[in-house]
A and B are shown apart, each in its own frame.
Chain A
Amino acid sequence: MSKLRWIFIGIILILLYAPIIVMIVFSFNEANSTSIFEGFSLRWYKDLFQYGGDLLGALRNTLVLAVLSSVISTVLGTVAAVGISKMKKAWVKSSVMSVTNIPLMNPEVVTGISMMLMFVFVGKMLDLANSVNFFTILIAHITFGLPYVILNVLPRLRSTDKHLTEAAMDLGCTPVQAFFKAVLPSITPGIIVGFIMAFTMSLDDFVISYFTNGTYQTLPLLIYSMTRKPMKPDVYALESIMFLIILVLMILLNVIQNDDKKKGARLKK
């Protein structure tokens, strides 16, 4: 029985990883092909760093955008979560939460288009030459990163002792000091998870960027434009490196959450 279980799990995992394994294998291809393997070589990795200026430039753009947008989402989202957790009227709270959920629930195409329509309209009114540009794609990425931060920080705030702030203030802290000294440490794990999620979502986003980027080229957008023709394996080489980075990030995230759970268990004891 347990053997059958692992066979089933294995088959599905092979299915999930087939294209990724093929990608990694062909990134080491000697030939200029993503479907015929002619021998092992590191040529495409060398090519990537020597001539892959477009790809590396797009990667740099993607990283700049992901870092900026996830940092801003994290700060704005954490402040928002604290605000939401203090809201007293139930209907206000639930309507704010509904709006927060919209970017998660709405199809990405619709989110992308809705923003593009607004940016184009405003751009026309202000007579701008480029109504979509770096700032519009940044706004878009901050916006879809926010719910991940808020929804990860809110449960933390809920489980934080309400009297913690009061105790800190009785001991002479101002409300702001009380937040930084008493509340912040206990919600930090939620903030970190929210930040990493916002960061990876930004890194990988294609659909929303596609409608809000203007001339700011990110890696997914560049690759999209390249797939209309057969691609060279240098793209696979770059994506294989990205795979490795994401793998490390995920393991890190896992370790943080695990540590945190252990700490929580110890506190309960």
Chain B
Amino acid sequence: MVEPLLRTDRLVKRFGGLVATDTVSIDVRPGEIHALIGPNGAGKTTLVSQLTGNLAPDAGTIHFAGRDVTRLPTHARVRLGLARSFQITSVLREFTALENVALAVQAHAGHSFRFLADVRRDETLRAPARQGLDAVGLGARADTLASALSHGEQRQLEIAMALAGDPKLLLLDEPMAGMGGEESQRMIGFLQALKGKRAILLIEHDMDAVFQLADRITVLVYGRAIASGTPDEIRANTEVRQAYLGDETAEVA
């Protein structure tokens, strides 16, 4: 049994009377793609926000890379190797694609209290940034403002930014959201290529993508993890069928 990279232990988050995360214990092992699925309002994004440090849990702990990170601020978790992409595209719109990734590289290149040297000529940032853009297929768009990129390209840019620091774990919050069929397929291919090299916690609505990519799947309903297992186990789980998958299992199977 491999030591998990990320592990939550009975995590709880309440908003007033609503229990958005209800004693959730999940783990992600090195190199695996662990998908988190569930209907809208199941608390997927709330859970991710606690993993990244944007929300503080009311109870329970989060361990990452062998450390208790429950109380660590976001930037410190990122330093440990936990990177994320956002459900709603979040790039720096006034900066070029290359500058977006260069900033991501910069975030991992020691402190940024450097006031005089021109960052636009800093090859220690730009060269890896260019590689990162090439890797997600945005090489030709390096000097385009992020705001001028298509939706799909912005999603790709987000992945390039998340990968820039060579993270141990990627939290991908609906990376295929709003993408066309062809774009989605390309993204699936790209994530497939990452498989084994990097652990990924994937939150995704697209069931085709989830069953193609995931090594393990956890199903979240009303804040509770009702099932966890391999894609085959999840497909066969009657509780999951009733609660969530319904007819979609038939299509996938």
Partners in one complex: no
